[in-house]
C-alpha cells in the first residue's frame, strides 16, 4: 500500500519534526479528530467565558447541535456551534426580549383591554384542584379542567357556540364579521372554554331549536348579556341599525 511521508528537507526548513501519515485515509481521520477536538475546546472555553455551561458531552462534529444553558436564567438552549461562537452573549430569547422591553410602557388601548379582561375574569374565577386560577391556564388546559363537570354532548355544543362567537368578533375572514367585530361587538370572555362553562352554568344546555342570543343586540358577548333564544325571538330582537340578530345564531348540526 502506498505510504506518504513528508520530505526531510522540507521538515528541516520548517523546523518541525518529521510526521509520518501512514495510509492516506488514516491521515485524514487523524486530521479530522484533531479538528473536532479543537472545536470542542474552543466551544467549551467560549461558554465558560460567558458564564454558560455545556449540557452535552463528546466531541463536536461540523454540523453538531449542542445543548447549553443561558448565562442569565440558566434555561436550556440548543444551537449549532458555528452559530454560537459569533454571539456577543449567551442569552435565551426570553432574556433578550425582557431586556428589549425594559422601560417600555403599554399603550392606552392595551391597558384598557387588560382592565376589561381582569374584570371579567374576576366575575368567573375558578380554582383548579392544584390551586391554580383557571384564567392562568392555556385554553387546552382550561378545557380539561372545566369540561369534566358537564356531559360531553352539552360541553361540545357550548364550545361550538363559544368558538363561533369568538370567530365572528375577531376573525375578519368570517362571513358575518361585519355584523359583529366590524361594528364594534367584542368577545369579552377570557377564552372560549370560560364562555362555554359560563353558558352551561347560567343558561343550561342548548335546547332544541335554540341558539345563543345577545339580549342587547348592540352589546357584547359578555356575562349577563346572553340567553338562549328561538329564531322568532331573535328576529324580533333587532338592533338600532335594522340588522336582524338572527345572524347571532350559532351554526349547529
- Predicted TM-score (pTM) of the model is 0.45
Which own/partner contact pairs does 34-40 have at CB distance under 8 Å and 24+ positions apart?
36/60, 36/61, 39/81
- Please provide residue 220's backbone torsions phi and psi, each rounded to the nearest 5 degrees: -105, 170
Facing residues of 228 across strands? 212
pLDDT tens string, the chain, 253 residues long: the values are 444 444 444 444 445 444 444 454 555 566 678 888 888 899 899 999 999 999 888 888 777 788 999 998 888 888 888 888 888 889 888 888 888 877 777 778 777 776 776 665 555 555 554 455 566 677 788 888 788 888 999 999 999 999 999 999 999 888 888 888 888 899 999 889 889 999 998 899 988 888 898 888 888 999 888 998 887 777 776 644 444 444 444 433 3
Amino acid at each position: 500500500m502506498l505510504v506518504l511521508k513528508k520530505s526531510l528537507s522540507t521538515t528541516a526548513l520548517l523546523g518541525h519534526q518529521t510526521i509520518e501519515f501512514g495510509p492516506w485515509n488514516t491521515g485524514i481521520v487523524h486530521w479530522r479528530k484533531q479538528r473536532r477536538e479543537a472545536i470542542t475546546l474552543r466551544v467549551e472555553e467560549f461558554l465558560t467565558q460567558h458564564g454558560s455551561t455545556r449540557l452535552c458531552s463528546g466531541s463536536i462534529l461540523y454540523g453538531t447541535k449542542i445543548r447549553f444553558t443561558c448565562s442569565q436564567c440558566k434555561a436550556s438552549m440548543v444551537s449549532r456551534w458555528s452559530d454560537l461562537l459569533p454571539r456577543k452573549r449567551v442569552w435565551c430569547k426570553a432574556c433578550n426580549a425582557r431586556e428589549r422591553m425594559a422601560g417600555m410602557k403599554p399603550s392606552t388601548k392595551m391597558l384598557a383591554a387588560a382592565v376589561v379582561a381582569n374584570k371579567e375574569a374576576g366575575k368567573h374565577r375558578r380554582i383548579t384542584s392544584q390551586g391554580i386560577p383557571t384564567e392562568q391556564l392555556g385554553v387546552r388546559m382550561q378545557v380539561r379542567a372545566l369540561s369534566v363537570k358537564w356531559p360531553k354532548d352539552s360541553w361540545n355544543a357550548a364550545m361550538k357556540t363559544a368558538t363561533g362567537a369568538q370567530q365572528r368578533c375577531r376573525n375578519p375572514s368570517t362571513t358575518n364579521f361585519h355584523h359583529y367585530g366590524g361594528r364594534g361587538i367584542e368577545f369579552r370572555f377570557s377564552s372560549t372554554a370560560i364562555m362555554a362553562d359560563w353558558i352551561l352554568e347560567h343558561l343550561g344546555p342548548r335546547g332544541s331549536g335554540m341558539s345563543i342570543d345577545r339580549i342587547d343586540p348592540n352589546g357584547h358577548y359578555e356575562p349577563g348579556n346572553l340567553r338562549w333564544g328561538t329564531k322568532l325571538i331573535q328576529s324580533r330582537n333587532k338592533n338600532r341599525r335594522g340588522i336582524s340578530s338572527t345572524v347571532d345564531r350559532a351554526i349547529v348540526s
